[in-house]
């Protein structure tokens, strides 16, 4: 790419500070990852803060990811000693799956409370990079809309405690990234799935980079969605042909690269191109 991706608004530093302050109040954490980038959505800054607490890793949006790769990442995480679950937050069984996994994670504390005849709500912090579906998971646990959600980065602006049932109180936190992306390929993955705000990106260029990646790595899915293409042509010529086929044209016949970028990104993010995992196992 011809530019560097960096996005770390002031509220993210504030959120990390609040996490540091609230972590001692919490019994465990739900670390929400995007199933399309399960390793790339691990925030090293968060890991520094929460490493000493029990953590349930939730690979959310699994309906958009490659199922076999999701299964492989779950197994990889489990071999690392992590408690991990793959779900889609909008699925009817999401609450039951998460509740069962939390009960297993907190089994020792639950047993101690029983022995002492203590009844208490477990406090759980929900963390992750932007747009992984943290608020959607809280709403699924509460069986109703308790937090504002949206399929873009930066919807949750501040922390809030949400009582979801008689067992759990969840702390919703804004998504946080890290101040500098040394690995621009990682930054691209975060941008593709919407974890970096579109407003700070060159969408025209991002759409081209995404399609270039998909042509190289998922040729069959690209052909299925957009039709066959000349394998010997330059990427820009293939891209232009796809733009024309999709009607991304300005008056005068020039290609509307901004609308094309938005269109191709939306096709990827909604799964219309196919179930794609960007991280390699």
Tens digits of residue pLDDT in 187-204:
999 999 999 999 989 999
Topology agreement, domain 10-172 and domain 202-269: no
Between 63-72, 111-120, 198-207, 244-253, the lowest mean confidence (pLDDT) is in 111-120
**Among 31, 34, 4, which residue's Cα sits nearest to residue 193?**
34
Average pLDDT over residues 116-121: 85
pLDDT in tens, 128-167: 999 999 989 999 998 765 654 455 444 445 678 888 888 8
Which residue, chain included where needed, has tokens 């690209």? 222
Question: How high is the pLDDT of residue 194?
Answer: 96
254/277 Cα distance (integer angstroms): 33
Residue 102 and residue 236: Cα distance in Å, rounded? 48
Residue 178 has pLDDT above 50, yes or no: yes
CA–CA distance, 224 with 53 (Å, rounded to integer) = 45
SS3 category, 41: coil
Predicted pLDDT at 15: 83
Q: Under 8 Å CB-to-CB from 186, ≥6 apart: which residues?
A: 40
Q: Are strands 160-163 and 168-172 parallel, antiparallel or unpaired?
A: antiparallel
Closest to 124 measured CA to CA, from 60, 169, 157: 169
Domain 10-172 has CATH 2.60.40.10: no
Confidence of residue 97 (pLDDT cuts 50, 70, 90): very high
Residue 119, pLDDT score: 81
The domain spans of the chain are: 10-172, 202-269
What average pLDDT does range 107-129 have in this prediction? Answer: 90
The 10 Å Cβ neighbour count of residue 48 is 10
Look over the chain and give the mean of its residue pLDDT values, rounded to a whole number: 90
- Is residue 125 within 8 A of residue 19, CB to CB? The reply is yes
pLDDT-wise least confident of 166-180, 227-241, 266-280: 166-180
Q: Radius of gyration (Cα) for the chain, nearest Å?
A: 20
Please check whether the domain covering 202-269 is classified as CATH 1.10.1580.10.
yes
Helical axes 257-269 vs 203-217, angle rounded to 10°: 50
Mean pLDDT of 70-88: 97
């Amino acid at each position: 790419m011809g530019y560097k991706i960096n996005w770390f608004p002031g509220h993210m530093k504030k959120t990390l500070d609040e996490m540091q302050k609230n972590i001692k109040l919490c019994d465990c954490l739900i670390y929400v990852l995007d199933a399309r980038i399960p390793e790339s959505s691990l925030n090293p800054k968060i890991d520094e803060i929460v490493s000493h607490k029990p953590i349930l890793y939730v690979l959310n949006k699994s309906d958009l990811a490659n199922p076999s790769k999701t299964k492989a990442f779950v197994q990889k995480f489990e071999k690392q000693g992590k408690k991990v679950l793959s779900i889609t937050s909008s699925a009817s069984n999401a609450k039951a799956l998460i509740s069962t996994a939390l009960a297993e994670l907190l089994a020792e504390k639950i047993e101690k409370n029983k022995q002492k005849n203590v009844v208490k709500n477990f406090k759980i912090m929900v963390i992750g990079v932007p747009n992984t579906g943290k608020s959607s998971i809280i709403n699924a646990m509460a069986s109703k809309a308790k937090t504002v959600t949206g399929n873009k980065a930066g919807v949750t602006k501040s922390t809030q405690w949400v009582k979801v049932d008689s067992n759990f109180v969840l702390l919703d936190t804004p998504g946080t990234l890290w101040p500098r992306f040394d690995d621009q390929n990682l930054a691209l993955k975060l941008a593709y799935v919407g974890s970096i705000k579109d407003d700070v990106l060159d969408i025209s260029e991002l759409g081209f980079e995404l399609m270039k990646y998909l042509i190289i790595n998922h040729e069959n899915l690209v052909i299925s969605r957009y039709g066959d293409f000349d394998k010997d042509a330059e990427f820009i010529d293939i891209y232009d042909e796809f733009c024309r086929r999709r009607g991304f044209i300005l008056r005068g016949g020039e290609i509307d690269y901004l609308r094309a970028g938005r269109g191709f990104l939306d096709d990827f993010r909604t799964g219309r191109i196919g179930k794609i995992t960007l991280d390699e196992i």
